[in-house]
Amino acid sequence: MFNHHDITRDALMLHGPLARQGYDWWWHSFTAQDAETGEDKPFFIEFFVCNPALAEEQPVFGQSPENQAAGKKPSYLMVKAGTWGEKACQLHRFFAWKEVTVHAEAPFQIEAADCMACETALKGSICISPEEAATHPEWMCDAGEMSWDLTIDKQIAFNVGYGASKPLRDAEAFAMYWHAEGMKSAFSGKVTFGGRLYTVKPETCYGYADKNWGRDFTTPWVWLSSNCLFSRKTGMQLQNSVFDIGGGRPKIYFVPLDRRLLGVFYYEGKEYDFNFSHLHLMVKTTFSFEEKEQEVVWHVRQENIHAAMETEVHCLKKDMLLINYEDPTGRKRHKRLWNGGNGVGTVKLYDRQDGELVLVDEITATHIGCEYGEYDHEESYSDET
């Protein structure tokens, strides 16, 4: 059962070896409406922490030439926020660890100045001038201004099931861990962006909240998720449903596995589980990514002994970001990490009956969170596991 809430997995995981070479982040994405026009606008807010045991008086930036020459690894809290679509941007605000207060046990809470994240709320602000963005490339961000005051109700979870119960023992097992405490979340509150006010409502936010932690980033890097879903069988919106797909090429004890994904669909209370780590399900996955002139496209097919899921997602490149991260060693290896919140697509769900696949529903999905990036090896966007 993947819909198993466990807030201990949202606790800070940078202990032991990960304190000196590790990252941990809490990601949130949602849709808001312009308070004047009612127009939808998607936003994201993330709290990203790195290498607390290497803290200095000021944030340590891995992209700084001086720090690279000195062999210094990054160390900071980065509050990351922004939007997709028109005026897409990513804004970064950095804090030294001495400025950060963390409640490391469950329920987690992290705060610095007016920025705070916990299981049930998000508050904060970022203001980056064009001059600052231009003169600080090590910040890896755009210019802009955004503030937020939100509450969160994490309703449906995707508990991957490995790696978090004993973080000290497992710190070197997987290079990158994932837990989605709120793959379907209801956000409420307000966002101010570019001088405009946006309202966030539970029924129209299509919210998502997860976290990743580890010592390295996966490549390829895949993420697809939405809970704005409509059944083509009934023509009705699915009110109690969400799908989530992620992964790429996990490493276990520094040994990369073949290209693999974790995928689930919570379909009106019924769980469809395509988690490759659940060996008894005998999961098989085929996925591909295509970058066209104006859009990017994902194709994913997953099967287990009980069911199958076929997912196709499109997102316009003009609505997306090439999102920026540096890893705990200070390398920025993902240089084309496509990231969006305006994806559209279809999901076909099948049950296996008497050895045959029978279509359960074909679902139209919008407001899809989507991501893809790859580095360091020959680009081969189609493979089977």
For residue 218, pLDDT over 80 is answered with yes
- CA 71 – CA 94 distance, rounded (Å): 20
What confidence category does residue 6 fall into, taking pLDDT thresholds of 50, 70 and 90?
very high
φ, ψ at 221 (rounded to 5°): -115, 115
The dihedral formed by the CA atoms of 52, 62, 145 and 128, expressed in degrees to the nearest 10: 120
What letter represents residue 190's amino acid?
K
Is-contact 214 177, C-beta < 8 A? yes
For residue 107, pLDDT over 90 is answered with yes
At 203-216, the pLDDT tens digits run 999 999 999 999 98
Q: Is residue 215 part of a domain?
A: yes
Q: Is residue 28 part of a domain?
A: yes
* Closest of 117, 112, 83 to residue 100, by C-alpha: 112
Is-contact 141 92, C-beta < 8 A? yes
Q: Is residue 11 part of a domain?
A: yes
For residue 166, pLDDT over 60 is answered with no
Between 44-48, 64-68, 166-170, 305-309, the lowest mean confidence (pLDDT) is in 166-170
| Residue 368: how many other CB atoms lie within 10 Å | 28
What confidence category does residue 173 fall into, taking pLDDT thresholds of 50, 70 and 90?
low
φ, ψ at 280 (rounded to 5°): -65, -20
Give the CA distances from residue 199 to residues 34, 191, 224, in Å, rounded to whole numbers and listed in that order: 6, 6, 25
Q: Is residue 180 part of a domain?
A: yes
- CA 290 – CA 152 distance, rounded (Å): 34
φ, ψ at 204 (rounded to 5°): -130, 15
DSSP label at 9?
G
- Provide the number of structural domains found in the chain: 1
Who's near 178: CB < 8 A, 6+ residues apart? 160, 210, 211, 212, 246, 247, 262
Predicted local confidence at residue 379, as pLDDT: 38
Q: Is residue 1 part of a domain?
A: no
- CA 326 – CA 331 distance, rounded (Å): 5
pTM score, two decimals?
Answer: 0.93
DSSP label at 1?
-
- CA 176 – CA 247 distance, rounded (Å): 9
Give the range of the structural domain holding residue 22, as residue numbers without chain letter.
7-384
Q: Is residue 105 part of a domain?
A: yes
Q: What is the three-class DSSP state of 105?
A: coil
| Paired sense of beta strands 23-34 and 196-200, if any | antiparallel
What confidence category does residue 248 fall into, taking pLDDT thresholds of 50, 70 and 90?
low
Q: Is residue 125 part of a domain?
A: yes
Is-contact 248 258, C-beta < 8 A? no
For residue 256, pLDDT over 90 is answered with no
- CA 135 – CA 117 distance, rounded (Å): 29
Who's near 351: CB < 8 A, 6+ residues apart? 306, 307, 357, 358, 360
290-297 mean pLDDT: 97
What token pair was written down for 92?
A: 């970064």
What token pair was written down for 245?
A: 């797909």
Predicted local confidence at residue 253, as pLDDT: 45
What token pair was written down for 135?
A: 């003169």
- CA 39 – CA 113 distance, rounded (Å): 31
Tell me the torsion sign for CA atoms 206, 176, 375, 273.
Answer: negative
- CA 309 – CA 301 distance, rounded (Å): 6
- CA 365 – CA 309 distance, rounded (Å): 14
For residue 171, pLDDT over 50 is answered with no
Q: Is residue 2 part of a domain?
A: no
